[in-house]
């Protein structure tokens, strides 16, 4: 039996693209074991020095000056012209991967890895020997939704929300080849729910925090962009009624700074971690999360019922504006534009708990249940169309294992 081979194209501009690539690979193993082979390639960084420098610059902007990204975003949009029919920068490496791996499906989870990449895959492997698909993680459309997401020749275009799907259709994606399939998170994200007693125990015994205090989660993406010290200072006046969970991603400097701050404020309860793989648990034991508009963090917060306050210090990047717009239209949002905004917000919630209750209820109206295996089986089914000459639509033998 021919093993299905799926090539995932991603890049570390932020952490969300890689997270979705890894989630897809984990689901394939969970459902199909060794019958589906997945290869993840960080194609921008590995294929071109020019693109690699662009990725580093993007991540620097995210950490230091988000407002600059409006100009950078417009520059990146030019790729839609550069890669209209084939790959320009990084072609040699990508072509070598295609010839070596011979994928049945090229699956892109990054906006800059659709246009040109699908056409070149068909040129190298043959149009009847490979299928191409995109997963777009944006929450809505408009300025910030890159035209590079939409390659009309894609066999399948998957969106996170109906709003984002409709915008893709507006940009030229045929509606009959689009799907709305939710968040694409790791398998363990769907089984890690805690009941109220477990949440209280986790706060007290795992985090050494009090189970009865209002808990603010100061989060960051994998790259560690944050304003932790400025925001922690706003919570100190409420010590005794408020405590904090702080993670710093891969930003060692930020971790050391918060570590020193915590020593200087022994009266304020604070749990600190660097890069955490327990974010899905930390969200569940928090009353609110302060985060930028990263799609992965916001999707997890919605999934685990942790209301979001958006961090707008230093400006909001165009892609993040899409996320903020989605939540604002659906439930109304709180955005911190100055550090003092957090203190006023928390003070209001402590003085009038019903205001917080309404804020949380509005947020949860956006939540929905999903079958996380549906998108996996659809993509594997698409790949098996070209992996077997005697292909017949239906379950890939053996059938997917129960999730």
Which pLDDT belongs to residue 258? Answer: 94
Contacts of 51 by beta carbon, 8 Å cutoff, 6+ apart = 11, 44, 45, 89, 90, 112
> What architecture does CATH give domain 188-364?
3-Layer(aba) Sandwich (3.40)
- Checking if the pLDDT of 88 tops 80, the result is no
Which pLDDT belongs to residue 398? Answer: 44
Lowest mean pLDDT, pick from 335-339, 378-382, 398-402: 398-402
Q: How confident is the model at residue 312 (pLDDT cuts 50, 70, 90)?
A: confident
pLDDT tens by residue, 277-305: 888 899 999 999 999 888 888 999 999 99
Q: Is the dihedral of CA 344, 349, 350, 354 positive or negative?
A: positive
Between 319 and 402, where is the model more confident?
319
Which pLDDT belongs to residue 297? Answer: 87
Distance of alpha carbon 168 from alpha carbon 16, whole angstroms: 19
- Checking if the pLDDT of 390 tops 60, the result is no
Which pLDDT belongs to residue 193? Answer: 85
Name the strand (E) or helix (H) holding 4: strand 4-10
Which pLDDT belongs to residue 396? Answer: 42
Domains of the chain, residue spans: 4-182+370-387, 188-364
Average pLDDT over residues 31-60: 81
- Checking if the pLDDT of 213 tops 90, the result is yes
Between 304 and 333, where is the model more confident?
304
Which pLDDT belongs to residue 47? Answer: 79
- Checking if the pLDDT of 392 tops 60, the result is no
Whole-structure pTM value:
0.83
Specify whether the backbone of 249 is left (phi greater than 0), alpha (psi in -120 to 50) or beta: left
> Taking the mean position of all CA atoms in its chain, how far away is CA 33?
25
- Maximum average pLDDT range among 55-64, 99-108, 249-258: 99-108
One fold for 4-182+370-387 and 188-364: yes
DSSP assignments along 207-221, one per residue: S---TTSEEEEE---
Which pLDDT belongs to residue 2? Answer: 64
**Phi and psi at residue 8, in whole multiples of 5°?**
-105, 130
Q: What is the CATH number of domain 4-182+370-387?
A: 3.40.50
Residue 304: closest CA among 162, 185, 222, 138: 185
Q: How confident is the model at residue 275 (pLDDT cuts 50, 70, 90)?
A: confident
Q: In a 3-state reduction of DSSP, which class is residue 106? A: strand
Average pLDDT over residues 369-378: 90
- Checking if the pLDDT of 308 tops 70, the result is yes
- Checking if the pLDDT of 191 tops 50, the result is yes
Between 63 and 254, where is the model more confident?
254
Given a contact cutoff of 8 angstroms between Cβ atoms, the answer to whether 112 and 148 are in contact is yes
Mean pLDDT of the chain: 86
- Checking if the pLDDT of 335 tops 70, the result is yes
Average pLDDT over residues 219-231: 78
Lowest mean pLDDT, pick from 105-114, 241-250, 316-325, 373-382: 316-325
Percent pLDDT > 70 in the chain is 87
Between 132 and 82, where is the model more confident?
132
Distance of alpha carbon 17 from alpha carbon 259, whole angstroms: 29
Average pLDDT over residues 176-201: 89
- Checking if the pLDDT of 1 tops 50, the result is no
Percent pLDDT > 90 in the chain is 57
């Amino acid at each position: 039996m021919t093993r299905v081979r799926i090539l995932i194209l991603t890049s570390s501009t932020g952490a969300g693209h890689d997270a979705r690539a890894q989630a897809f690979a984990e689901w394939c193993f969970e459902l199909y074991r060794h019958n589906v082979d997945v290869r993840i390639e960080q194609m921008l960084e590995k294929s071109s020095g020019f693109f690699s420098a662009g990725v580093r610059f993007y991540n620097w902007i995210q950490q230091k000056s988000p407002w600059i990204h409006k100009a950078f975003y417009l520059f990146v949009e030019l790729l839609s012209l550069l890669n209209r029919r084939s790959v320009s920068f990084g072609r040699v490496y990508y072509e070598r991967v295609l010839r070596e791996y011979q994928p049945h499906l090229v699956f892109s989870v990054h906006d800059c890895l659709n246009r040109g990449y699908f056409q070149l895959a068909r040129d190298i492997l043959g149009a009847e020997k490979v299928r191409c698909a995109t997963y777009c993680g944006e929450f809505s459309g408009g300025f910030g939704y890159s035209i590079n997401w939409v390659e009309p020749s894609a066999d399948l275009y998957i969106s996170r929300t109906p709003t984002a799907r409709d915008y893709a259709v507006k940009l030229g994606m045929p509606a009959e080849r689009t799907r709305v399939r939710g968040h694409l998170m790791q398998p363990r994200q769907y089984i890690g729910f805690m009941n109220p007693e477990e949440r209280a125990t986790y706060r007290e015994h795992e985090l050494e925090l009090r189970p009865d205090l209002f808990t603010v989660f100061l989060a960051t993406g994998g790259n560690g962009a944050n304003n932790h010290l400025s925001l922690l200072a706003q919570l100190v006046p409420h010590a005794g009624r408020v405590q904090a969970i702080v993670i710093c991603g891969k930003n060692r400097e930020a971790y050391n700074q918060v570590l020193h701050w915590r020593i200087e404020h022994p009266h304020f309860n604070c749990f600190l971690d660097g890069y955490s793989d327990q974010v899905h648990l930390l969200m569940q034991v928090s009353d609110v999360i302060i985060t930028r508009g990263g799609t992965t963090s916001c999707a997890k917060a919605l999934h685990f019922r942790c209301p979001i306050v958006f961090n707008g210090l230093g400006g909001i990047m165009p892609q993040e504006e899409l996320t903020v717009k989605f939540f604002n239209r659906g439930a109304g949002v709180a955005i911190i534009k100055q550090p003092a905004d957090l203190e006023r917000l928390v003070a209001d919630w402590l003085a009038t708990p019903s205001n917080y209750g309404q804020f949380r209820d509005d947020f949860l109206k956006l939540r929905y249940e999903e079958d996380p295996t549906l998108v996996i089986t659809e993509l594997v089914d698409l790949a098996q169309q070209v992996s077997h000459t005697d292909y017949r639509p239906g379950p890939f033998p053996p059938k997917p294992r129960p999730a």
